[in-house]
A = this chain, B = another copy of it.
Amino acid sequence: MAIKDLFKSKLKVVNIGLASFTESLERSGAQSVQVDWRPPVKADAGALAAVEAAAADIEKANAKAVKLILTGKPALVGMGVALDTIPGMTHDLILHAGPPVTWERMCGPMRGGVIGALLYEGRAKTPEEAEKLAASGKIRFSPCHEHGAVGPMAGIVSPSMPVFIVKNEEHGNLAYATMNEGLGKVLRYGAFGPEITKRLKWMADELYPTLAAAIAKLGRIDLKSMIAQALHMGDEVHNRNRAATSLLFRALAPAIVRTCPDSERAAKVLEFIHGNDHFFLNLSMAASKATLDAARGVAGSSLVVVMARNGTDFGVQLSGTGGEWFTGPAPVPDALYFPGFTKADANPDIGDSAITETNGLGGFSIAAAPAIVQFVGGQAPDALRYTKQMYEITAAENGAYQIPSLNFRGAPTGIDVRKVVAKGIFPLIDTGVAHKEPGVGQVGAGILSAPAEPFVKALSGLAGSLSAKPKKQKKTLSV
């Protein structure tokens, strides 16, 4: 066929790889077939062989680990001040999102969050003073995840911040998260200054005692049931939390009215939550953390129990490899950017919120929340496709967390690092994007594919843990 004939004829195209080409063709009316192909993931041959050889034991370990995940029962049971509540918290400690990172390697928004926290704590009077203090070595930094906590975006938790206490009522472990500040100029996007300090003070002085008293009156709030209902109501409880926030609001309001001595304060508290559809996010994260922490330490298990980003590195932890972090550079999201911003403004991926995906929610359950795909530039069928793909890399379906548009199929749960590496399918995370400079705030939102490196390393780590273990110990997995 001559080239010029090509322009006259109806095209029939076989496209390999990037689906967006097929989509463009379909939009222009051409017939096309999409072949789902990815470049093979380069993994260590020895590690692959070791994991392959131990397949039966790994399966047994994973069955145990995933059962621990699926039986988790997270409930909000109280609140407290971080210093008195979070294990290992001290006056000089600041917790942050993602794997460990030094002040020197911290990205802009996380540095901004640290500066904001030091101003809020009264440890510095100016941002310059705070920066100096942060760099001085007098302040220690540690991942939230190493203290049973999680934080969205920069994920900063400083000693005097109030936190929610979430209990895994089935397995007894606790998890912690701060209260969500809302949108706009907020600490989690690296904003600092009088406006941020003032809001954080109000949250500590009025919001915290009001909520704490209401939660105490209620005794507990069943987060598992609330998340399950929210999935039936268009949330995936990562980037969309409108339903879950509404259900939480309904549960709290009568108790707030009964326990708050000042009706104007009660009204302001209700307005604050009503004004922030993301208020539930931190609870969804803490619920996921409480759920996954119970599945830690199952020797031989290849299931992922943490995915977290500090804005510099993307980190992964496995059930079978203890507290070890497997990291690689955090990617910059291909997002839908707000007017006036481009990818050049974006910070690499940041936040502990990928704990929701690790728990089968967020991007993994995005088919429950098609409105998000619309928000990040896709169409409703994309959401179905994303979730279906995640079944390829997970060990189970969570019957408690159902996806209506997939005829109530359970959320894909228990990421198996072996499947991720073997299939070259990486966890999909739907995420907000922070400006790379501190204090600018959110510049977009998008669906992000996790990077390969941490998973390849984690597979090697798992292989190492297998050879390090005596045979006798492995036998205990077959419970």
Interface residues of A (CB under 8 A from B): 229, 232-235, 242-243, 246-247, 249-251, 253-255, 257-258, 263-264, 266-268, 270-271, 274, 370-371, 374, 379-381, 404-408
The 7 closest A-B pairs by CB, nearest first: A246-B246, A380-B407, A257-B267, A370-B404, A233-B233, A254-B270, A233-B234
Q: Which residues of B contact A270 (CB under 8 A)?
A: 253-254, 257
Please report the C-alpha to C-alpha distance between residue A406 and residue B380 in the assembled complex, in whole angstroms: 8
Cβ-defined partner of A232 (8 Å) among B229, B232, B234, B257: B234
Q: Which residues of B contact A234 (CB under 8 A)?
A: 232-234, 243, 404
Interface SS of chain A: helix, strand, loop or mixed?
Answer: helix
Q: Which residues of B contact A254 (CB under 8 A)?
A: 267-268, 270-271, 274
A117 to chain B: closest CB distance in Å? Answer: 29
A346 to chain B: closest CB distance in Å? Answer: 27
Is there contact, CB below 8 Å, between A274 and B258? no
A310 to chain B: closest CB distance in Å? Answer: 33
Q: Which residues of B contact A267 (CB under 8 A)?
A: 254-255, 257-258
Please report the C-alpha to C-alpha distance between residue A404 and residue B266 in the assembled complex, in whole angstroms: 35
Please report the C-alpha to C-alpha distance between residue A379 and residue B405 in the assembled complex, in whole angstroms: 10
Given contact pairs A258-B263, A258-B267, A253 touches B274 in the complex (Cβ within 8 A): yes
Measured CB to CB, the nearest residue on chain B to A383 is B404
Measured CB to CB, the nearest residue on chain B to A235 is B233
Please report the C-alpha to C-alpha distance between residue A268 and residue B253 in the assembled complex, in whole angstroms: 11
Please report the C-alpha to C-alpha distance between residue A338 and residue B36 in the assembled complex, in whole angstroms: 47
Please report the C-alpha to C-alpha distance between residue A253 and residue B272 in the assembled complex, in whole angstroms: 12
Q: Which residues of B contact A229 (CB under 8 A)?
A: 242
